[in-house]
Amino acid sequence: MSLLPSIKDPTPANARKAGTEDKPLALHVAGLTKRFAGVTANDGVDFDLEVGEIHCLFGENGAGKSTLSSCIFGFCTPDAGQIIVRGQPVEMHSPRDAIKLGIGMVHQHFVLVPEFTVLENIIVGTQKSGWRLDDRAARQKLNSLCEAYGIEIDLDAYVWQLAVGRQQWVEILKALYLDVQILILDEPTAVLTPDESARLFAIMRKMCANGMSIILITHKVAEVMQSNRVTVLRKGKTVATVQTRDTSPEELARLMVGREVSFSVNKSTIAPGDTVLEVSGLGARGYWNEAVLNQVSLSIARHEILGIAGVAGNGQKELFEVLSGVRWAREGTIRLNGEDVSRLTPRAMMDRGVGHIPDDRFREGLVGPFSIAENLILGWQRNAKYRSGLFLDRTKIAALSKTMMARYQIAARDDEVPVENLSGGNAQKVILAREFLHSSGLLLANQPTRGLDIGVIEYVYAQLLQKREEGFAILLASEELSDLFNLADRIAVMFKGEIVGVVDPKTTTVEEVGMMMAGRRMEAGR
Ligand SMILES: Nc1ncnc2c1ncn2[C@@H]1O[C@H](COP(=O)(O)OP(=O)(O)OP(=O)(O)O)[C@@H](O)[C@H]1O
């Protein structure tokens, strides 16, 4: 018997579960509950997905979006509730079962083999027999899919050669190749430029027009507004499902956090003070000896936020690494409050009050198996304020983590939970809490709002502006241009390792910055 029953003639008993004649359901989830030791991640969740719709899952960090999609994709087995695919109750024990049912998922962290080509990554594991990959039929099918959907990708390029944004197209192409009918996309635009995000939405609409259904997990209200319907989750429960044409960003934010969220940013007019950071002629090379930073010069004063705009991979990461002491520059100098710190270690930079929020939170910002409490003092464990004689003062550390977990709304059973069990957003909050707490003077914030929900972004904005008031100099890189336009006093745009211009956000448009991100030079000015 086929596991994929026809959606055209649901039996009367399954009429609701399979939708109505004009709006058939691709998927129906009823009363789904999933618990992890002490945490109820999903608590009786109801969710419907119509055929041909883009349906957003929207909710705060830790609301249960990833858990719900993991259950739908067979990663987790629910403790209670039912999953009905095209009118048929199903039980899934692994993603393999989900794929057989026509369900695919593109994760935030891609599962591609860097040493394989695009084509090999797509067809590996799908070959019926034999040890040799027969790629002719696959190549033909992929070429016609690329043409039909307007996806431009070299099937023979190695995945390691592709930028992260392009790797996502490989995952999407793989889902199309596998003929999935329900596709779950987890925060897909986090690695895309504004232009690529618009392309992705156009492709998603085409997929839906061809009868596919898409579940889109996102924190971005603007993306939710482009979908057909949205289900809001809060603390593991379904709060509401609404048609996006009948709602507004304000209502969605209120539904998500359970209170009014302010979209306006109160930034005071404050004159910059003394120069804190002075960088001149910085140059650095990458793994293949290619120039990753070229003649980068910038300065940041007290009470000032310098924004860094740029498409991922244009030197922002390397700039932050050099400034925090993780990587040494080949050329140029870095002065912190007048002192030459060009050759200092990360430890020495931390001792000088430099806080660093790295963009890759799990690899660079946290130690996965360590608890929340331990990560909150990571790097500061030798500091006298956390010690009692030779040992760590557990009582003091517990008091600190209690305060921080409440202030940053870190959703976890307690501070003993290993950070590797936290959702992405909650993990990011642990880093922010630690770096905001321990820095003084200079804050290097690379993608601080990545993966955060609106309620917490509001809090992070307030924190950054508060630090600015206090006299901090802040270097803020973000792929969200709204972060830079809301917070920065000046915006420097990076392209191919160089600063192609420094602009005033009050007199520059998003489009102009977008053009500079693509390499167009603008006169530097302050
Ligand atoms: N494997 C796990 N072990 C323990 N707790 C978990 C596990 N996976 C998720 N949780 C907890 O379940 C809750 C829901 O997490 P989930 O990742 O589903 O939220 P989310 O809405 O996707 O969050 P985010 O937007 O931050 O990614 C959180 O409190 C999280 O800490």
pLDDT tens sequence across 337-351: 999 999 999 999 999
Angle at 213 between CA 210 and CA 217, to 5 degrees: 135
Strand bridging mode 354-357 / 442-446: parallel
Nearest-angstrom CA–CA distance, 471 and 163: 37
**Per-residue pLDDT at 514:** 78
Tally Cβ neighbours within 10 Å of residue 383.
10
**Per-residue pLDDT at 189:** 80
Buried b (16+ CB within 10 A) or exposed e, 277-305: bbbeebbbbeeeeebbbbebebbbbbbbb
Confidence band for 1, pLDDT divided at 50, 70 and 90: very low
Ligand 1 centroid, distance to 113 Cα (angstroms): 26
Ligand 1 centroid, distance to 175 Cα (angstroms): 25
Task: Specify the higher pLDDT residue, 364 or 322.
Answer: 322
Nearest-angstrom CA–CA distance, 67 and 59: 12
How much of the chain, in percent, has pLDDT values that exceed 70? 90
**Ligand 1-lining residues (CB < 6 angstroms):** 36, 39, 41, 59, 61-67, 411-412, 421-426
Mutate to test the pocket of ligand 1, among 29, 36, 238 (most ligand atoms within 8 A of CB): 36
* Mean pLDDT computed over 203-232: 92
* HEC per residue, 333-374: EEEECCEECCCCCHHHHHHCCEEEECCCHHHHHCCCCCEHHH
Q: Helix or strand or coil: residue 7?
A: coil
The ranges assigned to domains in the chain are 1-102+180-264, 110-179, 272-353+440-526, 370-438
Identify residue 255 by its one-letter amino acid code.
L
Please, what is the average pLDDT of the chain?
87
Return the bridge partners of 90, or none.
Answer: 83
What ipTM was reported for this prediction?
0.97
Nearest-angstrom CA–CA distance, 160 and 256: 38
Residue with CA nearest ligand 1 atom 28: 62
* pTM for this model (two decimals): 0.70
Confidence band for 58, pLDDT divided at 50, 70 and 90: very high
Ligand 1: atom nearest CA of 425 is: 26
Sheet holding 304-309, edge to edge: 354-357, 442-446, 473-477, 304-309, 490-495, 498-503
* Distances 28 to 8, 50, 101 between C-alpha atoms, Å: 16, 9, 14
**Per-residue pLDDT at 20:** 55
Task: Specify the higher pLDDT residue, 383 or 24.
Answer: 383
Query: What distance lies between CA 251 and its chain's CA centroid?
Result: 23
**What is the full DSSP assignment across 275-325?**
EEEEEEEEEEE-TTS-EEEEEEEEEEETTEEEEEE--TTSSHHHHHHHHHT
For residue 420, what are the contacts with CB-CB under 8 A and spacing of at least 6?
362, 368, 369
Ligand 1 centroid, distance to 61 Cα (angstroms): 8
**Per-residue pLDDT at 294:** 95
Query: Of 3.40.50.2030, 3.40.50.300, 3.90.660.10, 2.60.120.10, which CATH number belongs to 272-353+440-526?
Result: 3.40.50.300
Residue with CA nearest ligand 1 atom 12: 41
- Nearest by Cα to 415 from 363, 370, 360: 370
The class of domain 1-102+180-264 in CATH terms is alpha beta
pLDDT tens, position by position, 447-463:
998 878 777 788 889 88
Confidence band for 2, pLDDT divided at 50, 70 and 90: very low
Q: Helix or strand or coil: residue 15?
A: coil
Mutate to test the pocket of ligand 1, among 67, 109, 432 (most ligand atoms within 8 A of CB): 67
Residue with CA nearest ligand 1 atom 24: 61
pLDDT tens, position by position, 240-257:
999 999 998 888 888 887
Mutate to test the pocket of ligand 1, among 29, 34, 39, 45 (most ligand atoms within 8 A of CB): 39
**Per-residue pLDDT at 311:** 77
Ligand 1 centroid, distance to 191 Cα (angstroms): 21
Query: What distance lies between CA 136 and its chain's CA centroid?
Result: 36
Ligand 1 centroid, distance to 410 Cα (angstroms): 11
Nearest-angstrom CA–CA distance, 502 and 224: 32
Mutate to test the pocket of ligand 1, among 366, 414, 423, 449 (most ligand atoms within 8 A of CB): 423
Ligand 1 centroid, distance to 181 Cα (angstroms): 26
Ligand 1 centroid, distance to 237 Cα (angstroms): 13
**Per-residue pLDDT at 23:** 66
Ligand 1 centroid, distance to 460 Cα (angstroms): 20
pLDDT tens, position by position, 133-182:
568 888 999 999 999 998 989 999 998 888 777 888 899 999 999 999 99
Ligand 1 centroid, distance to 63 Cα (angstroms): 7
Confidence band for 526, pLDDT divided at 50, 70 and 90: very low
CATH topology match: 1-102+180-264 vs 272-353+440-526: yes
Tally Cβ neighbours within 10 Å of residue 152.
9
Ligand 1 centroid, distance to 60 Cα (angstroms): 11
Nearest-angstrom CA–CA distance, 281 and 269: 30
**Per-residue pLDDT at 134:** 64
Nearest-angstrom CA–CA distance, 128 and 124: 10
- Nearest by Cα to 326 from 335, 317, 336: 317
Confidence band for 261, pLDDT divided at 50, 70 and 90: low
pLDDT tens, position by position, 281-318:
999 998 777 889 999 999 999 999 999 998 777 899 89
Residue with CA nearest ligand 1 atom 25: 61
Ligand 1 centroid, distance to 522 Cα (angstroms): 43
Ligand 1 centroid, distance to 423 Cα (angstroms): 4
Ligand 1: atom nearest CA of 57 is: 21
pLDDT tens, position by position, 84-99:
999 999 999 999 999 9
Ligand 1: atom nearest CA of 233 is: 21
Nearest-angstrom CA–CA distance, 222 and 213: 20
